[in-house]
Amino acid sequence: MTALRAAVAAQVLAVLGQRDAGPPVVQTAEAIARIAGAEVRPLRLAADLTPPRATARVLRALHRPRSLTAVLAGDEVSRPVWQRVAQRSDKPVVLVPAGARNRPQQIRRVLLPLDGTARSAAAVAPTAELLARGGAELVVLHVFDAETVPKFWDQPAHAGPAWTEEFLARYCNLPGARMELRSGAAAEHVAQVAAAEQADMIALAWSQQLGQGRAPVVLRTVLEAEVPVILVPIPAD
């Protein structure tokens, strides 16, 4: 399972640590459970658990068929745990950044950054579909950089709509989805656009690689975002 899937009595794990991350994590888990038609299951980690053991506990709980996702504090202190969980989970993991201003009662709008590859679009599609079915508005973000900039852009008044319509048709063909485009480095834009669009959540597909220079978008977004970030693993080839 690489994505959120609604199921009978599905559960959203609210991972509670020793620090005071409880309320935002629980509120986020409740909002996700509401949109997914699931229930919240608290998972309290003992204070004396080492990060590897805490990770193993979360992954064990996530591995249950009923578990849709796990919501964890995404702050710096909890980093040893959330990084391990996010890298090893085959299910989406939701991080609640330390600076999360928004502890959504309801997820009304989700920012969905897509890099224009079929793999990432396919990975995030079930999650996006579930969120859209639950009533969330999807705002797809694509950032043009040296690798992804189109070869041609004839007349901006016409090319913009044509390009975005085609992009959505290919990578996010869900009712009501709309698109935002930016130029530059994607890492610089995701959190900013999420704030500008007043998104309640960011959904990012990622390859679960955190080596040197990898996943700059994920790392910077988790650092800067003011809303929960759901990381959806892209299955290995």
Nearer to another protein, 155 or 212 (CB): 155
Nearer to another protein, 48 or 152 (CB): 152
Smallest distance, another protein to C-beta of residue 26, A: 35
Among candidate residues 17, 164, 152, 150, the one with its CA nearest the CA of residue 79: 17
Smallest distance, another protein to C-beta of residue 68, A: 25
Smallest distance, another protein to C-beta of residue 172, A: 10
Distance CA 190, CA 210 (A): 18
With b meaning 16 or more CB within 10 Å and e meaning fewer, what string describes 170-188?
ebbeeeebebbebeeebbe
The neighbouring-strand residues paired with 181 are 142
Task: Say how many CA atoms lie within 13 Å of 40 toward its Cβ.
Answer: 20
Smallest distance, another protein to C-beta of residue 119, A: 11
Task: Say how many CA atoms lie within 13 Å of 148 toward its Cβ.
Answer: 17
Smallest distance, another protein to C-beta of residue 139, A: 12
Nearer to another protein, 85 or 187 (CB): 187
Nearer to another protein, 86 or 186 (CB): 186
Contacts with another protein, residue ranges (CB under 8 A): 118, 144-146, 149-160, 162-163, 165-167, 169-170, 173, 180-183
The strand pair at 109-113 and 67-73 is best described as unpaired
Nearer to another protein, 32 or 143 (CB): 143
Phi, psi of 180 (to 5 degrees): -120, 135
